[in-house]
Chain A
Amino acid sequence: MEDTGLGLWGVPLAIIGGAIRVSTPFIFVSLGETITERSGRINLGLEGTLVLGAMTAYAVAATTGSTWLGVLAAMFVGSIFGIVHGWICKFPKVNDIAIGIAMMQFGLGLAFFLGKPFIQPIAPKLPSIPLGAWSDTPQVEAALNINVLFFIGAALALVLFWAFRHTRIGLILRVVGDSTDAARAMGIQPDFVRLVATAIGGSLAAIGGAYLSLYYPGSWNEGISSGQGLMAIALVIFARWNPVGCFLAALLFGGAGALGPALQSVGVTQGYYLFYAAPYVLTLIILIMTSSPNRPLIGAPGALSLTKL
């Protein structure tokens, strides 16, 4: 076993540090999906948006040298994808789940196609805040070196939590999500609200992608995402469409994702692939525990096709 100076204490520390590092894309994708699903529509294509966002951010950052310009470009592209999804779904007889799958394949294809020339160049990284500077143990320092986007995500979760309850826009969103007819009766255009909600959801998911390519793991390649965009959607169900719940669930998922690397860092290599699969198993178990065959999910927006039986 490699001596880390901390012995087995390195494992929980690495998991906490890893949870913060790994969870950031989950936070953004799940918050984006929460907004979309609260409007009564599901966008399963966020995995594609995430990867396309990762590619766009990396390409723009590598070309211009500005990481924040990269994040902005990713948000723009993500919102375009959201608008396309929202626009297509407003036609009758079009299945939003199937469109999500198609948009996922389209987004992945586009990202791999356009991202080919950017596999080699090196893009600058997003800044992080060294909260662990007080410690002289390198592991503690590394674990507490937290990216700015993590804090932005945490703040966004709180803002959304408040906005859903206490603002006019939040109310409109919830009405549209719970009953298309009630929204129409109030003079709200459900399709327009959903279009905007899907666009915002897409742009947030793309920030998650930008984090992947510009911070952790911090490079662009075709295997950059391993289903985070999809797991984040399951996470929204687990969090019951509550933004703060999404934030906490994202941390939990991040911790599960960090389990494999953390154990590997202290020399446990047996069953590496099984630890690597921990987030998928966790997602599945949570879905099984929280779903029920007899009633729609508690807290689910009424017009959401995902939870219809």
Chain B
Amino acid sequence: MTVEAENAVLPIAIRPSPFRPFLEWTARRAEPVVISLGAVLVGLALFSLFILAIGKSPVQLFQVMYTGAFGSWFSIQNSLSRAAPLLLTALCVALPARLGLIVIGGEGAVVLGGVAAAATALPLVGTVSPMLALLAMAIAGMLVGGLWVGLAGFLRHYRGVNETISSLLLAYLAIALMNQLVEGPLRDPASLNKPSTSPLPAEYMMGDIPGMTLHWGLLIGIGACILSWVLIELTSFGFAARIAGGNVRAAQIQGLPVGRLIVGFTAIAGSFAGLAGMIEVAAVQGSANASIVTGYGYTGILVAFLARHNPLAIIPVAVLLGGLEASGGLIQRRLGLPDATVMVLQGTLFVVILLCETFYDRFKVFNPDLWKRS
């Protein structure tokens, strides 16, 4: 920020103004928005340079991306249905992050949550109503997902094992377990080329929101984000977690149950990812097989970091990245670029966003105290 720019805004602040409380509030809230948007613009610029370097037009690429993501009602619904699991897997990163933990193994909870849901459905199909079966599947998926990521939290607190590494190892292990279960005890003998569990009958699937080709997962995901925001911002449990995330020693001296907070938050986080796996099985695939290893767990990491671990900010970011993922196919067909183009853009954005963390508290405009002066 240049000196001139600061001077340009100063005189307004010095004048006593009825807007001052409002300006203070805006200054505080504007900082993450402005810095994040700036980072995204820089990321897009770098990515454009990369696309120019390989001899394609970035303008055309962005146009195709927009068309593929939000250009028609069909593509909007496609983007939103991809955003649904991202909302949940992003929460799997964001909730532990509020405690200062970096959990990146959400993919494992997604996969095992999906397998647990499919396994739960097997005896229930035909015996109970679809509604009840879906509820049981959701609970099973959340329990298994919660256990899986909660284990990483437990090991972190009670054994001092780094949660980033352990959660990723658990994710690899989960995929191996899924393969073993789907090829072995849970395999539907009718699935020949691609081992799967028995497919869910159509009436036991989750179904679409009336009037759209978009499953209920999106609303479930948004609900989970709102719930998480309430949990973090409005409950004493969340308040304690924020203190522990700021300073573990202080939290311990205050007598806060840091261990229970860590295990509880990672378990809740994992249960959201497990729910994403259940939705993938009950609304998209219809059975558990290798296709539920979707990479949503990894994209969720980026969503959470872009949203700065704020559950409400996750909602728009997940929609944007769902759109980006949805546009991958069109980029491949129209421009002949590999499907990894989306991954390159995501990686670039991720690096730049983290780099821009360094700009927090650097700009005086965003300091609420500046606007208090009279």
Contacts and interface: CB of A to CB of B under 8 A. Distances in A.
Contacts, number: 139
B173 A281 contact: yes
A230 B169 contact: yes
A105 B306 CA distance: 14
Interface string A223-261: 000110011011001000000000000000000000000
A149 interface: no
B344 A293 contact: no
Contact of B102 (A98, A110, A271, A276): A98
A288 B305 CA distance: 28
A88 B354 contact: yes
Most chain-A Cβ atoms within 10 A of its Cβ — which of B166, B172, B180, B301? Answer: B172
Nearest to B104: A101
Contact of B176 (A99, A103, A273): A273
Contact of B347 (A98, A106, A230, A233): A106
Interface in B115-167: 155, 157-162, 164-166
B328 to A, nearest CB: 12
Contacts of A171: none
B14 interface: no
Given A109-B347, A274-B176, A97 B340 contact: no
Given A273-B179, A277-B176, A309-B248, A284 B169 contact: yes
A279 B126 CA distance: 41
B337 to A, nearest CB: 8
A110 B347 contact: yes
Interface residues of B, number: 46
Where chain B touches its partner, the secondary structure class is helix
B347 A291 contact: no
A273 B155 contact: no
Contacts of A108: 343, 347
B94 interface: no
A295 to B, nearest CB: 8
Nearest to B181: A273
A307 B350 CA distance: 24
B48 interface: no
A288 B160 CA distance: 8
A92 interface: yes
A227 B169 CA distance: 8
Interface of A: 44, 84, 88, 91-95, 97-99, 101-103, 105-110, 112-113, 116, 226-227, 230-231, 233-234, 237, 271-274, 276-277, 280-281, 283-284, 287-288, 291-294, 306-307, 309
Please name the 10 residue pairs, one residue from A and one from B, whose CB atoms are nearest each other, closest first: A106-B347, A109-B343, A277-B176, A112-B340, A102-B350, A91-B358, A293-B160, A273-B180, A113-B340, A109-B344
Interface of B: 102, 104, 155, 157-162, 164-166, 168-170, 172-173, 176-177, 179-180, 183, 248, 298, 301-302, 305, 337-338, 340-348, 350-351, 353-355, 357-358, 360
